[in-house]
């Protein structure tokens, strides 16, 4: 009997993934490693070139290895345009516009781009975190642009729920919410995810799936907002916020998070606004948390500015630009916003350290040792593991602002 006759017929399907970024590329690599042929679509020519050379253009543990194997076996290739496939996955950005309303232009564009390649029996999956009703919008765009009748193509939402730094494991192991625009779409999407997801599949409707993902991140944002508000309160009371939280967390039903310089990343800093935009009168707590977290960088900058103002031509070591430890993702990063503001202080020499980037268009990047050498002020904004080993004597006689608690204890 041939190997092909023993093969799972699902794996003979081609998967077209639009957007090979922080979610699309790891998903593509995982699917290729399972035996699927993945036709990636990436409009950034430089990123596509890197991927097709067998490398990842983003920092994620073990992703380079998986991409190299996938490209080497011919199971993954990046292209500028879609192609006829069996499953289409949309992994494109869903940012906010200047009015903090959802910008769905990338979703619209991606849907319009795949429409000429759609055929009866295809499955279209929106993975991008989106406001309620976006999956139905995708279906309506396809209906307008093709001759496919209702039910010829299935549409579903399966929001990603992964943590940068652990994406490859969590793409497979995490439970997934699967919601179609109808029962047939939900079933088709679930059948596909069962071929590579080990976690539970939680079946629902598209609108419920869209809303549940937003609620998850709004919940986290509110809790982070509480911790950040505590840091402001503790300073006003001349208390150590880290010790305050440590003591309070000894209560068996209290688990306060750690404060930081704000909230970053595409999800937590953005998703609550999708809900606030849709139901503003019912979401005052979410709005308050957003305002607390958005204001935290201003608080950090003001504290550093006051201290630096006492010195003549101060040298400030700014540690970290990413929005969280040990990744290169700068999206909505409060650390990056703070670094930009600190660079505007007159007569300041700012030395920026970001070990996960080779370069940055705005800042000359320094080694940790170079930044600390001769620094008057040290601002720790991100808890990268490279910063953990800084010895106490290296910070002696410097004004230290440990905003993220990297040297706590």
Hey, which residues are catalytic here? Answer: 213, 267
DSSP codes of every residue in 32-82:
HHTT-EEEEE-S-HHHHHHHHTT--SS--TTHHHHHHHHHHTTSEEEESS-
CA dist., res. 297 & res. 299, Å (int): 5
Considering just the CA atoms, what is the radius of gyration of the chain in Å? Answer: 23
- Given the DSSP bridges, would you call strands 315-319 and 201-205 parallel, antiparallel or unpaired? unpaired
Contact 368/387 with Cβ under 8 angstroms?
A: yes
The 10 Å CB-count burial string (b at 16+, else e) for 356-368 is beeeeeebebbeb
Among residues 325, 337, 326, 399, which one has the least CA distance to residue 363? 337
- Residue 278 dihedral angles phi and psi, to the nearest 5°: -80, -40
Residue 344 forms beta bridges with which residues? none
The β-bridge relationship of strands 315-319 and 377-380 is parallel
Please enumerate in sequence order all residues whose Cβ is within 8 A of that of 261, keeping only pairs 6 or more positions apart, or say none.
296, 297, 300, 334, 335, 338, 381, 403, 404
Identify whether the C-beta of residue 60 lies closer than 8 Å to the C-beta of residue 167: yes
Asked if 292 and 228 count as a contact pair (C-beta separation under 8 A), the reply is: yes
Angle at 238 between CA 232 and CA 241, to 5 degrees: 55
CA pair distance 86, 192, nearest whole angstrom: 11
* Helix (H), strand (E), coil (C) string for 314-333: CEEEEECCCCCCCCCCCCCC
The Cα diameter of the chain in Å comes to 81
**Which residues, listed in sequence order, are joined to residue 275 by a DSSP beta bridge?**
none
């Amino acid at each position: 009997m041939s190997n092909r006759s023993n093969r799972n017929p699902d794996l003979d399907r081609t998967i077209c993934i639009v957007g090979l970024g922080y979610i699309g590329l790891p998903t593509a690599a995982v699917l290729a490693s399972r035996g699927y042929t993945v036709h990636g679509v990436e409009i950034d020519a430089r990123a596509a070139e890197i991927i097709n050379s067998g490398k990842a253009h983003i920092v994620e543990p073990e992703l380079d290895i998986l991409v190299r194997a996938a490209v080497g076996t011919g199971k993954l290739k990046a292209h500028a345009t879609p192609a006829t496939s069996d499953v289409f996955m949309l992994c494109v950005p869903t940012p906010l516009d200047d009015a903090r309303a959802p910008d769905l232009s990338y979703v619209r564009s991606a849907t319009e781009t795949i429409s000429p390649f759609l055929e009866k029996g295809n499955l279209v999956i929106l993975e991008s975190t989106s406001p309620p009703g976006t999956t139905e919008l995708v279906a309506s765009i396809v209906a307008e642009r093709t001759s496919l009748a209702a039910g010829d193509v299935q549409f579903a939402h399966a929001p990603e729920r992964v943590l940068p730094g652990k994406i490859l494991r969590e793409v497979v192991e995490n439970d997934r919410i699967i919601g179609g625009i109808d029962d047939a779409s939900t079933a088709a999407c679930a059948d596909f995810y069962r071929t590579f997801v080990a976690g539970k599949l939680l079946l629902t409707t598209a609108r419920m799936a869209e809303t549940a993902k937003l609620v998850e991140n709004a919940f986290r944002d509110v809790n982070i907002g509480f911790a950040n508000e505590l840091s402001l309160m503790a300073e006003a009371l001349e208390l150590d916020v880290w010790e305050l939280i440590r003591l309070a967390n000894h209560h068996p039903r209290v688990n306060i998070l750690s404060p930081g310089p704000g909230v970053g990343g595409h999800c937590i800093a953005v998703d609550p606004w999708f809900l606030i935009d849709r139901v503003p009168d019912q979401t005052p707590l979410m709005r308050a948390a957003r305002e607390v977290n958005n204001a935290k960088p201003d608080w950090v900058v003001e504290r550093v500015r006051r201290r630096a103002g006492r010195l003549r031509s101060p040298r400030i070591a700014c540690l970290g630009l990413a929005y969280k430890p040990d990744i290169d993702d700068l999206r909505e990063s409060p650390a990056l916003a703070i670094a930009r503001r600190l660079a505007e202080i007159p007569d300041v020499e700012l030395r920026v350290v970001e070990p996960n980037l080779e370069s940055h268009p705005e800042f000359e990047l320094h080694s940790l040792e170079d930044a600390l050498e001769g620094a008057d002020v040290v601002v720790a904004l991100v808890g990268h593991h490279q910063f953990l080993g800084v010895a106490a004597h290296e910070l002696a006689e410097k004004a230290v602002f440990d905003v993220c608690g990297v040297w706590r204890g």
